[in-house]
Amino acid sequence: MEVFYLVVFVCGLVLAIDFFAMWALNNAVTTSGPFVVSSPGRLVIILTLAVVVAGGLLAAVQVPDQLYSGVGYILYPFIWTIQKIANAVGIDRALLEALGDTEFAGWVRESLYGWATALTFHAFGNAIVIGLTFIIGLRLIGMFRAISYAAVLRLFPIIWFGVLVQVLSGFSLWMTKPARYTGDSMFDTKFTLVVIGIIVTIFFERVFRQEAANWEAAGAVSSRGLRWAGLAAVAWAGVLVGGRLTAYLGTLYMQ
Amino acid sequence: MHWIPQSWSHLHILVSVFPSVGLVFTLGFYVTAVITNNDGMRRICLFLFAILGLLAIPTYVSGDRSIVQVSQHPGFSEAALNSHYGWGLAAVAAIVLTGLVAIYELFQSQRAGWAKGQALNVVLVVSIITLVIMVLTDDYGFEINHHELTNPPRLVPGTSAPQMWSHVHMVLNHFPTVGFVIALAVFVAALAMNNDVMKRSSLTLFVICGALVIPTYVTGTGSMWALTQPPMEGISKAVINAHRDIALLALFGLAFTGGTAWVELWRSRNLGRFSGTSQLLILIFAVITLGILAETGHRGGQINHPEIHVAGDVLPTDPNAFWTPWIELKINNVIWFVPWQTVHFFGYCLIFGTALVIVLRVVGFWKSMPFSAVHQILPLGFLGVMMNVFTGMLMMLADSYRYIVQNTTFAPKMALIPIGVMAILYFSLSDRIWQVKAGEDAPASAKAVAYLVLLAWTGVIMGGRLLPYL
């Protein structure tokens, strides 16, 4: 489980450094006063750094596996709900195996170009969703102030395009061995995070559309807007980490 | 002090790269000076042409004396020596002529203000002809003792790497090194003269050197496999590892100096002035990096130049005694590989997201924004590039044989990175794109660069993602 803690530590540390670098660079060129972090913002930064430090400490010392499982329990209610919904609509193991036996699944699995194409599209879907969510998040906390909120709204359709690419390519990849993917705990966690990410982004966009004019008039974003922006960034970052760990921590590729 | 050459051949190897590779960068600066009509920079370039012309003297003398020395070594081809000598004479004559034309032009401009276009053209034409002769001379020079290029050992399928890696590395490694020296010289002159165009040009060259060092480092690793699998006589893995250790430092030194220079270019574009503190920082980084580069070059030269070894040289013998093998071992472990790979994935998301937003504005999607507003997002992509250079090179080290020799998409990926980095420079350097206001169309040239940026980074990401499969 050392890998998981190290991923939290290394990625958290690098992204925190990036955040402070963006902060410094933004303030170096701003003409409308420096970007100041609010008290809740400061609390978020302190909490993030605490998680990073905890990740580093847990990676450095031997900790019982139960602690790692505890991280999974946070997501368990969501995973359980998704499993119940799947069962209710009749998705069972036989159906999954039948999906894996289709001609399309065979093409993605066995042909050189099928797997490579789906994986490439998946990578770009990922880059669009995470890249643009981070840019919108930074705008909302006070950076790039020359960009209006109305203009930022135009980025949401592109994010949805990225999500569509991710879903289609992800579905193609999943179809190569649906029964095995679905039984893998890391994949279940990642899939749950994707569902959470999509739901959070729907709410985030709705709040953005409702409140953008008020933010423009007040010159500041409401705490509701900031909360959704933060949740969206964390959820999609979790999807990326989950995707990487699915390849290395789960049972799918470690044969 | 082992950096000071103790034989004619050593001096020749050291000095001879400056007139040839230095000419490429001086020409680049000269063309920029002509385009921007910057008098100070033109004078500096003419002065540099004159210096390069002067360098022809030690290059010729050391080359001439080297022939006597190396002809005593078995394995040095007399035919290759003669071809190099013949072309070398032509190259010396050409670079001296370039230097003389530049000195004449410099005096003319001192006497009568700035000179006529015709004289400028003479300098340009002569220096371009000189460059062509230099390229031929250098290639014949490589053939003198790099027999692996002219007579490569038999390739063992699945084991050996082609000698193309060594050839490309030998050519490429001179560009970030000599280019860096030229950039530093122009930067110091720019600080002394307080000339903004010169500052911008030298900062740009620092960034270009920072971008070129990535394929240089990768081709260097490819050369290691080409020279050691199967083992070649006279090539020591321990000496190669000593070079690789310092080359890794040089890689980060160049990337850091180039990165700091990029930030200053971006910042000065926003504020319309340069920062004294940043310039001092860049100068300090550049001087430190220059020292590292000198040691890297010295250790690289010891790999395959027995003629420069002197009695007092103590060459390393233990191939495991360095920290590059230690890093390879560490990062190859899944415990460290996965965290750095995850950071690499975040990095490409930042790069592609930023590139996409900038490109969308330039091609007309986000026209409600002035370009200057979108320009503020650029550092996010820059941080992504820095993250990925660091993590990418560590991951490459962990499994270099697979990446470099066995995978087909890694080499194009490495070639596309400098193109992507250099194309992005346009957005901080061009005055026309900077003046594009809300609702206005970007110029066609900016659109072409935008498509190039998108294509380059798409290629880089595809090349990386498909690594394990093609």
The answer to whether the peptide bond before residue A157 is cis (omega within 30 degrees of 0) is: no
Interchain CB contact of A84 with B (< 8 Å): no
Residues in chain A within 8 Å Cβ distance of B348: 123, 127
Smallest CA-to-CA distance from B59 within B103, B93, B83 is with B93
B234 touches A at CB < 8 Å: no
**Helix axis angle, B164-172 to B117-145, nearest 10°:** 140
Rounded to whole angstroms, the Cα distance separating B427 from B435 reads 11
Between residues 50 and 79 of chain B, which touch chain A (CB distance below 8 Å)? Answer: none
Distance, CA of B423 to CA of B417 (rounded, Å): 10
Angle at A235 between CA A230 and CA A241, to 5 degrees: 125
DSSP codes of every residue in B201-266: HHHHHHHHHHHHHHHHHHHHHHHHHHHHTTT-TT--HHHHHHHHHHHHHHHHHHHHHHHHHHHHHH
Best residue in B262, B340, B345 to probe A by mutation, most A CBs within 10 Å? B345
Pair of tokens at residue B185: 């010289």
CA distance B388 to B355: 15
Q: What is the DSSP string of A130-160?
A: HHHHHHHHHHHTT-STTS-HHHHHTTHHHHH
A147 interfacial to chain B (CB closer than 8 Å): yes
DSSP string, B66-132: HHHHHTTSTT--HHHHHHHHHHHHHHHHHHHHHHHHHHHHHHHHHHSSS--HHHHHHHHHHHHHHHH
By Cβ distance, the residue of B349, B354, B366 closest to A151 is B366
Whether A216 and chain B come into contact, CB under 8 Å, resolves to no
Selecting from B335, B357, B373 the residue whose C-beta is nearest the C-beta of A135 gives: B357
For residue B459, give both structure tokens.
């290629």
**What distance in Å separates the CA atoms of residue B185 and residue B171, rounded to the nearest whole number?**
22
Q: What are the Cα distances from residue B99, in Å, to A24, B49, B87, B390? A: 46, 5, 18, 41
* Residue in A9, A14, A138, A163 to test binding to B, most B beta-carbons within 10 Å: A14
Largest Cα–Cα separation, chain B: 72
HSE, CB side, 13 Å, CA atoms: give it for residue A199: 7
Beta strand ranges found along chain A (DSSP E): none
- Average pLDDT along chain B, 470 residues, taken 10 residues at a time: 71 87 89 80 87 92 84 74 87 92 85 59 86 86 75 70 87 92 92 90 94 94 86 84 92 95 95 92 96 91 78 75 84 88 95 96 91 94 95 90 86 93 90 90 92 95 83
Using the Cβ of A3 and the Cβ atoms of chain B, whether some distance falls under 8 Å is answered with yes
- CB neighbour class for B99 (10 Å; exposed up to 12, middle 13-18, buried from 19): buried
From the list B334, B353, B369, the residue facing A131 with the nearest CB is B353
Least Cα distance to A138 among A43, A232, A253 occurs for A232
Q: Do B353 and A244 touch (CB under 8 A)?
A: no
Nearest chain B Cα distance for residue A166, angstroms: 13
Contact list in A for residue B461 (CB cut-off 8 A) is: 123-124, 127
pLDDT on residue B3: 61
Q: Which of residues 22-61 of A touch B (CB under 8 A)?
A: 22, 25-26, 28-29
Please indicate whether, in this complex, the C-beta atoms of A240 and B342 are within 8 angstroms of each other: yes
The number of C-beta contacts closer than 8 angstroms across A and B is 143
pLDDT for residue B66: 84
Compute, in degrees rounded to 10, the torsion defined by CA atoms A254, B466, B402, B167.
Answer: -170
Q: Which residues of chain A have pLDDT under 50?
A: 254-255
Rounded CA gap, B369 and A8, in Å? 36
* Closest by Cα among B347, B381, B353 to A159: B353
Please report residues of B whose CB lies closer than 8 A to that of A154: 365-366, 368
Interface contact flag, B376 A123, Cβ < 8 Å:
no
Chain-chain contact of A7 with B350 (C-beta, under 8 angstroms): no
The answer for residues whose C-beta is within 8 angstroms of residue A103's C-beta and 6 or more apart is none
Residues of A with Cβ-Cβ distance to B349 under 8 angstroms: 126-127, 130-131, 134, 240
Residues of A in contact with B372 (CB under 8 A): 146
Helices H / strands E in chain A, number of each: 11, 0
Q: How far is CA B30 from the centre of its chain?
A: 18
Report d(CA B20, CA B446) in Å as an integer.
Answer: 32
The encoded tokens of residue A251 equal 């049972």
Q: Per the structure block, which two tokens stand in for B246?
A: 């310092």
Instruction: Give the position of tokens 């409702």.
Output: A210
Measured in whole angstroms, how far is the alpha carbon of residue B412 from the centre of its chain?
Answer: 17
Q: Answer yes or no: do A128 and B352 touch at CB < 8 A.
A: yes
Q: How many CB atoms lie within 10 A of CB B172?
A: 18
Distance of alpha carbon A143 from alpha carbon A136, whole angstroms:
9
In single-letter form, the type of residue at position B333 comes to: N
**B452 and B423 in contact (C-beta within 8 Å)?**
yes
The alpha carbon torsion through B267, B269, B272, B274 (nearest 10 deg) reads 50
Query: CB distance B271–A29 less than 8 Å?
Result: yes
Does residue B374 sit at the A interface (CB-CB below 8 Å)? yes
Give A243's contacts (C-beta < 8 A, 6+ positions apart): A126, A190, B345
pLDDT at B331: 87
Q: Does A119 touch chain B (CB under 8 A)?
A: yes
If 0-12 CB within 10 Å is exposed, 13-18 middle and 19+ buried, where does residue B280 land?
exposed
- Touching A: B residues 432-461, CB under 8 Å: 458, 461
B369 contacts chain A (CB < 8 A): yes
Is B356 an interface residue toward A (CB < 8 Å)?
yes
Predicted pLDDT at B118: 54
Q: Scanning every residue of chain A, which has its alpha carbon at the shortest distance from the alpha carbon of B468?
A: A116
Residue type, A7: V
| Separation of alpha carbons B115 and B110, rounded Å | 9
pLDDT of A82-131, one tens digit each?
878 877 877 777 787 888 788 888 888 888 788 888 999 999 999 999 99
